[in-house]
A and B are shown apart, each in its own frame.
Chain A
Amino acid sequence: MNDLKYTREHEWVRMEGDVAVIGISAFAQEALGDVVFVELPEIGKSLKAGDQAAVVESVKAASEVYAPLAGEVVGVNEALNDDPSTVNSDPTGKGWFLKMKPSNPADFEALMDEADYRKFAEEQG
């Protein structure tokens, strides 16, 4: 069973209590290839849904990671500074990017579930 929700921009979100943990999907890391750097936001920053939250750099290109929902950044995954390849090896686990406190927790429910996302990603693919 899977408690992740997804955006059309290939971010995933998991609620841990009232905090949203955010990363990029397995599909996204596969498309990016080897991740070599992740630029994380400052803690305390307020983001609207769709704002740039982070930048992920692969060998070949930089890609933006967007906030899946509105809220405040309350944590970032510092471990990615030392080993950005965790995004490739464990994208929905240890490879998380940031934590946000959503302004409106109901926003989470509006995101795609796993099955819908899989269908969406296959169409992209």
Chain B
Amino acid sequence: MGDENETTLKRTPLDALHRAHGAKMVPFAGFDMPLQYAGGIIAEHRATRTGATLFDVSHMGQAAIRGDSPLAALEALVPGDLASLPVGGMRYTQLTNAHGGIVDDLMVTSVGEDYAFVVVNASRREADFALLGAGLDRLAVEELDRALIALQGPRAAEILVPLAPGAEELRFMSAAPFMVDGSAIAISRSGYTGEDGFEISIPAQDALRIAERLLQGGATLAGLGARDSLRLEAGLCLYGNDIDETTTPAEAGLGWSIGKRRREEGGFPGAEIVLAQLREGPVRRLVGILPEGRQPVRAHAEIRNTSDERIGEITSGGFGPTVGGPVAMGYVASAFADPDTAVTVILRDRPVPARVVKLPFVSHRYFKKH
């Protein structure tokens, strides 16, 4: 965190807002990002579950993919069923490697017949755009210089709708373009907290103005710290922790994101391996781990069975403010993946009793119209 480092960090279009609100800034994936603001992570976490908070996620990579049938072309790189996605539909999927490992997880939105929009992890943007550029040679992949903000929580809709009338009609995992104060923005009903909410892609020069209007409407700021505790309680994978090039979508419990047609047809990198794991069951699975007591267990802690044999490792762990105690996720050998299986987690040479639980720790409250 020396000065040398800080000068090379990129700043998001909302940098001035963070500093004005007393953010504790940290380097993250090459960006200077707010870890938390003056109120602290727990307060920001709670505000997201009970009100509405605004996260700057402009560090994430946004790209337009234009050309003939971009969704069908993308299917060569990911296991998600994209061809069936209607205009305005959004889907979660993964870029996979030849072994079925996850190069990145991403969101794909169908903007039009010849236009798809993707959002990828900041830490993986170079690898992703290289893969997309090489794999989609008949299409134009253009990285966009836009801000991305997430407005999350049960009050998100009432705060956003005065700026963007009609946004209340969006269902979970759908998106639409809006004009706000003369700025062309794209709003999707999605997020990384388990709560109802929106992700808003804004031309960089308009981001500060729109963020300030959302704050005036009653949203409060939340940083990367709360983003992590919220997604962990919601049982959502973090790239680099819970998933990476050595873990497959089947092992990570992401089989739900691979539709029936793709399971039958395959046709994505590592399909044979991933589809066999989905049919026969993978040898290890990502599960929720609930430690007894109050002490958090952290990533890389060893998981043992009750006979003291190693069965896996924690990949994400911390304190869940809504749960009111420690929560974790990790991979265990499949024989130990059933809910309520007793395990121990080794915390600084001491065994902590824990049990396997069904994810999420806190129920999702997405907006799904009937």
Which chain A residues have a beta carbon within 8 Å of chain B's beta carbons?
Answer: 33-34, 36-37, 39, 55, 57-62, 81, 84, 88
Contacts and interface: CB of A to CB of B under 8 A. Distances in A.
A39 B295 contact: yes
29 contacts: A33-B24, A33-B36, A33-B41, A33-B225, A34-B41, A34-B42, A36-B296, A36-B319, A37-B294, A37-B296, A37-B319, A37-B326, A39-B295, A57-B296, A57-B319, A58-B41, A59-B45, A59-B229, A59-B318, A59-B319, A59-B321, A60-B35, A60-B41, A60-B228, A60-B318, A61-B298, A62-B296, A62-B298, A84-B294
B211 to A, nearest CB: 23
A59 B294 contact: no
In the A-B complex, the 3 residue pairs with the smallest Cβ-Cβ separation, listed nearest first, are: A36-B319, A59-B41, A34-B42
Given A33-B41, A34-B42, A59 B225 contact: yes
Contacts, number: 43
A55 B228 CA distance: 22
A83 B326 CA distance: 15
A39 B42 CA distance: 20
Interface of B: 24, 35-36, 40-42, 45, 225, 228-229, 294-296, 298, 318-319, 321, 326, 348
Query: Which label, helix, strand, loop or mixed, suits the secondary structure of the B interface?
Result: mixed
Contacts of B24: 33
A29 to B, nearest CB: 11
Contacts of A62: 296, 298
B225 to A, nearest CB: 5
Contact of B295 (A57, A60, A61): A57
B338 to A, nearest CB: 28
Contacts of B228: 60
A81 B294 CA distance: 9
Nearest to A31: B24
B134 to A, nearest CB: 37
B343 to A, nearest CB: 20
Nearest to A85: B42
Report which residue of A36, A37, A62 has the largest number of chain B beta carbons within 10 angstroms of its beta carbon: A36
A88 B38 CA distance: 13
A37 B321 contact: no
A60 B41 CA distance: 9
Contacts of A81: 294
Given A57-B319, A60-B225, 7 more contacts: A33-B24, A34-B41, A37-B294, A57-B295, A59-B41, A62-B298, A84-B294
Contacts of A61: 298
Contacts of A88: 40
Contacts of B35: 33, 60
Contacts of B229: 59
Report which residue of A33, A34, A55, A61 has the largest number of chain B beta carbons within 10 angstroms of its beta carbon: A34
Contacts of A60: 35, 41, 225, 228, 318
Nearest to A38: B295
A61 B40 CA distance: 14
